[in-house]
Amino acid sequence: MRIAAAVLAACLGAWAQSTLTVEQLARFIKSSVQLKHPDRQVAAYLSRCKMSERLDDSMIEELQGYGAGPRTLEAMRRLRDASRDLPAAARPAPEAKRPTIPPPSPEEQKRIIQEVRENALNYTRNLPDFICTQVTRRFVDPSGLELWQSADVLTARLSYFDQREEYKLIMVNNSVTDQSYESVGGATSTGEFGSLLRELFEPKTRAEFEWARWATLRGRRVYVFSYRVPQPYSQWRISYERRLEIIAGYRGEVFVDRDTRMVTRITLEAMDVPPSFPVQQARTVLDYDFTQIGEQDYLLPLRAEVRMRSNRLLTRNDVEFRMYRKFSAEASVSFELDETPAPLSEEQTREQPPQ
């Protein structure tokens, strides 16, 4: 897999006042603590916010215990006072306890990984020639606080023929264009159609797999394994502005369909990136789903999320693959799209407990 990152120039004015629920406030504070954002910067953002629900002392105490700084606490107390007359936040219903499902035996785990390896190494050989629509929604946050702002939406025709991918940019922000992908710049990714899977499961990569848990994904029971790939055996390239490049070690999780032994989700997170390299963090989540092409079902990319950080600049690409159809000269010529498809629902990508 290759990720190319370019610093997106941003001339941004002051943020408009944001309205937060108690849950959104809690997620924001916890994320800020984890990312070690300055207390003054977090408090300054909260000073421009208002609550849509009543903020109480118990939540402030909980966030103080999580590590919120003194200025952040003072900003939350002001939000508490301003929200006294608002309705209370809805309490989430307690999750029902589910029976514990024992993991597969160590011998069975080895057999599962071996079957998954064989499927992954043969994955691209079994794919048909097809055309689909790739929609990339790109977001940027110059503050580093995960306050995402939409950058653009790229809609492309993706042709897969003779085990090779070809991209043609069709629209930028719902406007037809003749631009190439290279000319629009910004953060991009490739490798969703097999190279990522193949490189992880190749014996020379020496990936180390361990049992993690059972889960349910898109209504199907899955095995979840964690893994690590040391840098000396990695093939994951991260490049910056097409002039600097490293090969990074990585770790993540693999979700395996229990019935077919096919990978339905894979996550990657870069490890041990050199401090001097401009991209300090890189993470990808790639989902596959069964899709009908012609009269047969194939496991094909559904959605990818690619996140990167360069100093305080955060970028996020939400990539969706839609409208698969069998490749033909007629299909290529007749490819038309009036507007960008709506985003996929969260239900299609949300992990659930084992059913």
The pLDDT score that the predictor gives to residue 83 is: 94
pLDDT of residue 253: 97
The reported pTM is 0.75
Residue 255: pLDDT above 70? yes
Model confidence at 338, in pLDDT bands (50, 70, 90)? low
Amino acid 239: pLDDT: 84
| Structure confidence at residue 277 as a pLDDT band (50, 70, 90) | very high
**Is 11's pLDDT higher than 60?**
no
- Please state, rounded to an integer, the average pLDDT across all residues of the chain: 85
Question: What pLDDT, on a 0 to 100 scale, did the predictor assign at position 6?
Answer: 38
Task: Return the HEC string of the chain.
Answer: CEEEECCCCCCCCCCCCEEECHHHHHHHHHHHHHCCCCHHHHHHHHCCEEECCECCHHHHHHHHHHCCCHHHHHHHHHHHHHCCCCCECCCCCCCCCCCCCCCCCHHHHHHHHHHHHHHHHCCHHHCCCEEEEEEEEEEEECCCCCCCEEEEEEEEEEEEECCEEEEEEEEECCEECCCCHHHHCCCEEECCCCHHHHHHHCHHHCCEEEEEEEEEECCEEEEEEEEEECHHHCCCEEEECCCEEEECEEEEEEEEECCCCCEEEEEEEEECCCCCCCCCEEEEEEEEEEEEECCEEEEEEEEEEEEEEECCEEEEEEEEEEEEEECCHHHHHCCCCCCCCCCCCHHHCCEECCC
Of 92-101, 142-151, 221-230, where does the model show the most confidence?
Answer: 221-230
**Averaged over 114-138, what is the pLDDT?**
91
